């Protein structure tokens, strides 16, 4: 069975996506790739609104029942982790770990209801970093949350660089959130040198604040654009 390197299956809502990626109403009309989309409801809600997103994640090889089982196994661990590390999170909007859990479960239920049809339609693809088998410039925008930089301990510097360059190959703009590592308030150990290397290679990088902040200090979004093609 595919090893997900201890990456949890946990999905956020459409509203979370708008806030994590500073997405404007106009930008929702773009062609969008969500890489490491997991059981988030962004793709499902966009479809309800008549828009199309392509989501990639190795978990899409599994059946809805298997994904549901993974969510059920993950749920108590996450709630316990939130209680144990309560002060590392911002509770103004969500209130309690249980309320957050309910909100995430609702989003994942929306994903699960959409997944069988969405997979048939090619909106959910079983693929992942560091190689994305799409042609150059297939998408206007690629977003990715809670994998790159978040799992800095599990994924190497090379993996990060290769994955970001690959996103920039298939999309005209890339947005990655958050920039803190392993569910702490500390900036990813890879961030500074990845930015330096991308800049030296001609990529345009920019860090923007987000209104979304659940992990303390996790309120920054990295935008990357590929070098100009002459």
- List interacting residues with ligand SAM (CB under 6 A): 4, 7-12, 35-38, 40, 57-59, 128-129, 145-147
Q: Which residue has the tokens 């929306």?
A: 110
Give whichever of 4 and 103 is closer to ligand SAM, judged by the CB atom: 4
Give whichever of 15 and 205 is closer to ligand SAM, judged by the CB atom: 15
Contact, 101 vs 78, CB < 8 A?
yes
Give whichever of 3 and 26 is closer to ligand SAM, judged by the CB atom: 3
Give whichever of 17 and 203 is closer to ligand SAM, judged by the CB atom: 17
Sign of CA dihedral 81, 69, 37, 99: negative
Give whichever of 163 and 198 is closer to ligand SAM, judged by the CB atom: 163
Give whichever of 166 and 173 is closer to ligand SAM, judged by the CB atom: 166
d(CA 58, CA 2): 8
Smallest distance from ligand SAM to CB 81, Å: 13
Secondary structure of 92-148 in HEC code, one letter for each residue: CCCCCHHHHHHHHHHHHHHHHHHHHHHHHCCCEECCCCCCCCCCCCCEEEEEEECCC
Both structure tokens of 147: 């994998």
Nearest alpha-carbon partner for 181 in 211, 215, 223: 215
CB closest to ligand SAM, residue no: 128
d(CA 213, CA 221): 11
Smallest distance from ligand SAM to CB 192, Å: 23
Name the CA dihedral angle for 58, 34, 182, 19, rounded to a multiple of 10 degrees: -150
Smallest distance from ligand SAM to CB 181, Å: 13
Give whichever of 36 and 198 is closer to ligand SAM, judged by the CB atom: 36
Give backbone dihedrals phi and psi of 215, rounded to 5 degrees, phi first: -80, 130
Smallest distance from ligand SAM to CB 42, Å: 8
Smallest distance from ligand SAM to CB 230, Å: 31
d(CA 52, CA 77): 33
Smallest distance from ligand SAM to CB 16, Å: 7
Smallest distance from ligand SAM to CB 156, Å: 12
């Amino acid at each position: 069975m595919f090893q997900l390197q201890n990456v949890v299956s946990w999905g956020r809502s459409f509203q979370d996506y708008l806030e994590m990626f500073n997405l404007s109403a106009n930008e929702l009309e773009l062609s969008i790739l969500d890489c490491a989309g997991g059981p988030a409801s962004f793709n499902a809600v966009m479809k309800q609104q008549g828009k199309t997103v392509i989501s990639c994640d190795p978990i899409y090889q599994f059946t809805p029942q298997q994904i549901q089982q993974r969510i059920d196994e993950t749920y108590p661990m996450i709630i316990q982790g939130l209680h144990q590390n309560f002060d590392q999170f911002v509770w103004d909007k969500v209130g309690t770990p249980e309320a957050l859990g309910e909100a995430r479960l609702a989003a994942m239920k929306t994903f699960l209801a959409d997944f069988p049809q969405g997979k048939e339609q090619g909106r959910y693809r079983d693929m992942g970093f560091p190689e994305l088998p799409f042609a150059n410039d297939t998408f206007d925008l690629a977003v990715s949350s809670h994998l790159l930089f978040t799992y800095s301990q599990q994924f190497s510097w090379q993996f990060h660089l290769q994955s970001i360059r690959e996103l920039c190959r298939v999309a005209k703009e890339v947005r990655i959130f958050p920039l803190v590592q392993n569910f702490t308030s500390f900036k990813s150990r890879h961030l500074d040198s990845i930015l330096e290397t991308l800049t030296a290679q001609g990529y345009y990088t920019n860090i923007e604040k987000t209104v979304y902040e659940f992990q303390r200090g996790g309120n920054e979004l990295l935008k990357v654009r590929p070098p100009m093609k002459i």
